[in-house]
Structure 1
Amino acid sequence: MLFKLLLTQANSPLGSALHHDLERESVNLLLPQAEDVDWRHAESVSAYIQQKCPELVINNYAWDTLDTRDGQDAYLAAATHLAAACADADIPLIHLSGYQVFSGNSKSTHSEKDNVDPVTAQGKTLVAAEQAIARLCPRHICLRLGWVIGAYGDNLLTRLLGGYLGGQAVQANRRLRGAPTTLADVARVLVGLYKQISCGSDNWGIMHYCSGDACTQEEFAEQLLQLLIQQQLLTAEPSLTIIDDENTDEPASAILTCRVIRDCFGVQARSWRPSLLPLVKQWLHNRGE
């Protein structure tokens, strides 16, 4: 019998990447629609879990919309209700979180043991969801991610591409540091976790993942610009302005140590650089160019 896995949101950039990878696995994949379950309401979530009886839940619901108040409310509600329902049914839960749980201090790398101290509403929502899950659901993984980039959605790569190829002024901050991680790489890691959990792995708690290739926002913007120039893709004179101010809207560093996920699941970090040109080509293809 196929392993039954529930993915809470497949119609988002990360959900689509994960759905694509999971379709190639021997898994009974549950992809609920809006009419099937309301993740904001405890009774609806509990009824759906009891009816479908998944063996593992991967929760990415509203993770892509945390920059809005509605997205934050939906994210926290879904995480809380899922944690309770999974605990009642003894179902493991993988929940997506992010580096925004940390403060804007000068620390260059954040480990799983560091104290959280969010500086934004987004970060506070992430922390509240993690705390609810830890309180309610013993068998859980809260997977914090760093900068996630891809050819879809709103992320650092798509914003820079839109500016460069749209003839707009582009800004990059030399004080912000991260380790860009592609959507496909995140999906690879999640599939790896599912496979080992389905085989009996019993490792739970807070875990980190980001690519093994750190850079500043300035360095990423400049490498992307050089790539566009080399590929003769620019249609207008680029305008890149470097900012040297502290950004209070997010932590100065999105670089995460990934020791726990490596030790527990053998996950090895990959570089984003070989994926940059394919991502640019995919972004252009999406726009019909």
Structure 2
Amino acid sequence: MRVLLIGSDTTLGVALEQHLSRWGRHDYECVTFAASRWKSERHAKKVIRRCQPDLLIDARIQGAVDSGEPLFEPDIDRCHWLAKACQRNGVAYFLLSSSRVFAGQQERPYAEDDLPDNEGTLGSMLQQSEQRVRATCDRHVILRLGPVFSHRGRNLFTNLMAQLHSGGKLSLDSSQRGCPVAASDAARIIAGVLDQLSAGAETWGNYHYCSPDTTNCYEFTQVLLTAASSFAEFDPEAVTLCEEPGEQSISRRLDCSRLRNTFAIKQLSWRSFVADALKLYFDSLQHSES
């Protein structure tokens, strides 16, 4: 299968490109987030015609959400442009989205058929991007993910590690609960879906994936602090963690049974990826300082 990856420089885009390169089961071409901020629909059409992919993976929106990169209305419009070009050229559209499409007020995990109810600006933009793809391109997959972390780029992990390195008192919210996903694990999931789509599976629609382990920012940072203490470059005594309950409890857990039942892909705990992420983080830190 020939794949066009848009947003290849996002945290997940980098991990996915590495995964595709390592296994070599699919040909692929990459477009960075900045290069995909086209001024008109004509530019989006040209990319599709030039690359002639079988499937497009759009990592732009999810990448912006987890990195804190601001999203603008034209970014959502580009989903529509790409979806129209995909529909016209027989290309499948794989949109990566986020659990933040939901408000987090539901006690049980959110299923794919639950109505997205996050009324904030970010939630609205996620909903619009999904709606544009769903309404315009028949052959689509929308994969909502928990917060994606990695040792590189701007994301939950690197932001917290930078704060831990700075030392001092660190106040952390414990009211918002979710299920983080390592970028390498998310890449595994996406590649597994690609393999089955390339084999002829017609399994279009919405899917969810996240870790089976729920946590909050305070607990996640505790795990990082404990694991990082084994690295000589880090002084855990210089950091004090303080738990700060927020005014409102939020839980964005995702029900991942549809993905498991459709593609036979099981969930992995985010905790099992922390040690490797820390090693790579400190290795890159040493390399940048040498």
What TM-score results when the alignment is normalised by the length of structure 1?
0.90
User: Superposed, which structure 2 residues align to 1:200-279 within 5 Å?
Assistant: 200-231=200-231, 233-234=234-235, 237-246=238-247, 252-279=250-277
Kindly provide the amino acid, as one letter, of the partner of residue 11 in structure 1: D
Tell me how far apart the structure 1 counterparts of residues 266 and 245 of structure 2 sit (CA, whole Å): 33
Kindly provide the amino acid, as one letter, of the partner of residue 240 in structure 1: L
User: Superposed, which structure 2 residues align to 1:50-65 within 5 Å?
Assistant: 50-65=49-64
Tell me how far apart the structure 1 counterparts of residues 224 and 199 of structure 2 sit (CA, whole Å): 40
> Contact between 2:167 and 2:239, CA under 8 Å: does it hold in 1?
yes
Kindly provide the amino acid, as one letter, of the partner of residue 285 in structure 2: R
> Contact between 2:228 and 2:236, CA under 8 Å: does it hold in 1?
no
Number of paired residues?
Answer: 283
Tell me how far apart the structure 2 counterparts of residues 12 and 271 of structure 1 sit (CA, whole Å): 22
Tell me how far apart the structure 1 counterparts of residues 39 and 177 of structure 2 sit (CA, whole Å): 34
> Contact between 2:33 and 2:60, CA under 8 Å: does it hold in 1?
no
Offset of residue 213 of structure 1: 1.9
Match of residue 138 from structure 1: 138
Question: Cα distance 1:62–1:34, how it changes in 2: closer, same or farther (>3 A)?
Answer: closer
Offset of residue 57 of structure 1: 0.7
- The superposition leaves residues 44-74 of structure 1 with CA deviations (integer Å, 9 ceiling, x where unpaired) of 11122123221111111253224344x3435
Question: Cα distance 1:223–1:36, how it changes in 2: closer, same or farther (>3 A)?
Answer: closer
Q: Which moved more, 1:188-197 or 1:103-112?
A: 103-112
Tell me how far apart the structure 1 counterparts of residues 278 and 79 of structure 2 sit (CA, whole Å): 33
> Contact between 1:39 and 1:78, CA under 8 Å: does it hold in 2?
yes
Kindly provide the amino acid, as one letter, of the partner of residue 122 in structure 2: Q
**Is it true that 1:172 corresponds to 2:165 in the alignment?**
no
> Contact between 1:54 and 1:91, CA under 8 Å: does it hold in 2?
yes
What TM-score results when the alignment is normalised by the length of structure 2?
0.89
RMSD of aligned C-alpha atoms?
2.2
Tell me how far apart the structure 2 counterparts of residues 194 and 282 of structure 1 sit (CA, whole Å): 27
* 3-state secondary structure, aligned to 1:287: helix
Offset of residue 6 of structure 1: 0.7
Offset of residue 215 of structure 1: 2.0
Question: Cα distance 1:62–1:132, how it changes in 2: closer, same or farther (>3 A)?
Answer: closer
Match of residue 25 from structure 1: 24
Question: Cα distance 1:246–1:99, how it changes in 2: closer, same or farther (>3 A)?
Answer: farther
Question: Cα distance 1:176–1:189, how it changes in 2: closer, same or farther (>3 A)?
Answer: same
| Structure 2: segments with no counterpart, 5+ residues | none
**Is it true that 1:158 corresponds to 2:158 in the alignment?**
yes
Kindly provide the amino acid, as one letter, of the partner of residue 280 in structure 1: L
Match of residue 45 from structure 1: 44
Tell me how far apart the structure 2 counterparts of residues 37 and 166 of structure 1 sit (CA, whole Å): 35
- The superposition leaves residues 97-135 of structure 1 with CA deviations (integer Å, 9 ceiling, x where unpaired) of 101111141424211111111142111111000011111
Kindly provide the amino acid, as one letter, of the partner of residue 266 in structure 1: A
Question: Cα distance 1:17–1:51, how it changes in 2: closer, same or farther (>3 A)?
Answer: same
> Contact between 2:179 and 2:211, CA under 8 Å: does it hold in 1?
yes
Q: Between the two proteins, what is the percent identity of the paired residues?
A: 27
> Contact between 1:38 and 1:44, CA under 8 Å: does it hold in 2?
no
Question: Cα distance 1:157–1:36, how it changes in 2: closer, same or farther (>3 A)?
Answer: closer
Offset of residue 235 of structure 1: 6.0
Question: Cα distance 1:126–1:202, how it changes in 2: closer, same or farther (>3 A)?
Answer: same
1:11 to 3, 9, 18: 9
